Amino acid sequence: MAAALGITQQRYASYEAGTRRIQVSMIPALAQALMTGTDALLSTPAKLPPKHGPTLKFQQHLERIGRLPKAEQRIILQMLEGVLVRNR
């Protein structure tokens, strides 16, 4: 994909990791490489509530936790594991 976009692998990896945002000028090349239109890349898909799995509120919390720094994620995981072990 990096070659198709004319960028280095490191730059593309930073886009995938979310540490760098893709430049707007690259969207047409990205759409072409993915064989789709720019509208498909730029549109926001409708979010449907999950039919199975976590409740919407719980899912929102998981998404927020996923955006926290790794150290804070580890703290939350330790707290959850402690609660779950006590309630077996």
Q: Tens of pLDDT along the chain (88 residues)?
A: 889 889 999 999 998 888 998 888 888 998 898 888 888 888 877 666 656 666 778 888 888 888 989 999 999 999 988 888 887 7
Global pTM?
0.47
Q: What is the per-residue pLDDT for 8?
A: 93
Q: Which helix (H) or strand (E) is 41 found in, with range?
A: helix 38-42
Number of CB atoms found within 10 A of residue 11's CB: 13
For the chain, the domains span 2-42, 56-86
pLDDT, position 42: 85
Distance separating alpha carbons of residues 75 and 11, to the nearest angstrom: 31
Residue 11 has a pLDDT of: 92
